[in-house]
Amino acid sequence: MWDINTKTGKKPNESEIEKKRSKYINWVDKVLELHRGRYINEFRIHFDLGDNQKSYITNWIYTALANGVQKLELNFDRFVGIIWKEYRFPVECYNTLKSPHGLSIIKSLRSLSLKNVDVNTEIVEFFIYNCPHLERLSVFCSKTLLSLKVAGSSIQLKHLDINCCCSIKEVEISAPSLLSFKYHGQQIKLHVQNLPLLLDVSIGGRYDVQLRNLIDPIILYLPQLETLELLLDLKKDRIQFPHFELPKLRHLIFKVIASDHHNLLDSTQIIKACPFLHKFTLKLICGGGKRELREFPKCPLEHLKVVEFIGFVGRPIDLELAFYFLENAPMLEKMIVNPTSLSSVGSYFEFEDGESKQAARKRVKQLKKRVPQWVQLVVC
């Protein structure tokens, strides 16, 4: 695997990125030139690149595939806010891969991840149906992916992740080997069937998305899930969930966009539906506002051992939920509190200790007073 560590803790500017971009391209070219192994098991590119570097990127892709790569990851995240054209998977490369020789060199591919790569439906489905060992597929921020069909008993795909593809309208899945499905984005027509092994679902979106409309198509599979992540914008939607138990669920994750006046205690209705829940995670993006703490319901959570707050603000919206767990989970072993803004996690800003982060750390003191001795409080 070849990667570059971009988490330096300070924000770069465009001129710095341009210099590093040139060095990065030369470095990757040199590494591939010096490679003497028969195969490349894993090839990972993570840098601020786009269509201006198309010839280099396309050559890297073809070289990796020609060397029997099993895991291919292209991550062209922007390091600065300059708007430019994303890398578009070239038709010429696609036509080459459709040839008999091209089909032979993609058969080793087991994992394909494309982030900020414009790739259309035809090309994505080409990889799905022509890579017999493909187990993991992730497409993030493709503007040209309009629909996706993953259907067939011979498909070995186990993990499917479609994230922030702004033009997609419809997804159809019938894949007996699928273990996890993640969809984050706009409202779509979702059709699913024949998913006997499905264990992990992450689903939801923002703005015009009604979470219930995305949950309904997978409702028959909820009782078999072990992990469930729900994305919810409380400014546009409210917490709604089908009224039945999730007897196998071990990890429940809420990713929530909210303001202080919203009430996350409504989510306890879903928590009650998970009698064997082992871990709860809250990923919170919260605006400002002030209000008093509300009373929280009593409900025994006999199996809950770990609670995690990411984007902790230490205000009523998450404090009252923390108190709810401390009061109702007698077997609780650990509470993890991370005041880093969720939007900063994985970026340059993750390492900045701004005013909001410092304020959240101070508010942890209020939480510490309520934490029993047998519960480990971890502040990140």
**What confidence tens digit (pLDDT) does each residue in 316-329 have?**
889 999 999 999 99
Query: According to the model, what pLDDT value does residue 4 have?
Result: 43
Q: What whole-number distance in Å separates Cα of residue 306 and Cα of residue 321?
A: 14
Model confidence pTM above 0.85: yes
Question: Given pLDDT bands bounded at 50, 70 and 90, which one contains residue 290?
Answer: confident
Residue 218 is classified by DSSP as: G
Q: What whole-number distance in Å separates Cα of residue 165 and Cα of residue 162?
A: 7
Strands 200-204 and 136-140, sheet pairing: unpaired
pLDDT in tens, 110-124: 999 999 999 999 999
Query: According to the model, what pLDDT value does residue 240 have?
Result: 67
pLDDT in tens, 219-272: 999 999 999 999 988 877 666 666 778 999 999 999 998 887 888 888 888 899
Q: Report the amino acid identity of residue 6.
A: T
297 is a domain residue: yes
Query: According to the model, what pLDDT value does residue 291 have?
Result: 77
Phi and psi torsions of 5, nearest 5°: -80, 110
Contact in structure between 209 and 187 (CB atoms under 8 Å): yes
Q: Coil, helix or strand for 184? A: strand
340 is a domain residue: yes
Is the confidence at residue 2, as pLDDT, over 60? Answer: no
Query: According to the model, what pLDDT value does residue 11 have?
Result: 57
Hey, what are 3's tokens? Answer: 């990667």
227 is a domain residue: no
60 is a domain residue: no
135 is a domain residue: no
Stretch 272-283: mean pLDDT: 95
Length of the chain: 380
Is the confidence at residue 6, as pLDDT, over 60? Answer: no
12 is a domain residue: no
Residue 360 is classified by DSSP as: H
Is the confidence at residue 132, as pLDDT, over 50? Answer: yes
**Domain span at residue 347?**
250-380
Is the confidence at residue 356, as pLDDT, over 70? Answer: no
Contact in structure between 119 and 97 (CB atoms under 8 Å): no
Query: According to the model, what pLDDT value does residue 136 have?
Result: 99
Cα–Cα nearest to 367, from 332, 336, 328: 336
Mean pLDDT over each residue of the chain, to the nearest integer = 88
Domain count, the chain: 1
pLDDT in tens, 147-192: 999 999 999 999 999 999 999 999 999 999 999 999 999 999 999 9
Hey, what are 301's tokens? Answer: 């959570």
Give the residue, 144 or 356, on which the prediction is more confident: 144
Question: Given pLDDT bands bounded at 50, 70 and 90, which one contains residue 5?
Answer: very low
Phi and psi torsions of 75, nearest 5°: -125, 105
Is the confidence at residue 352, as pLDDT, over 60? Answer: no
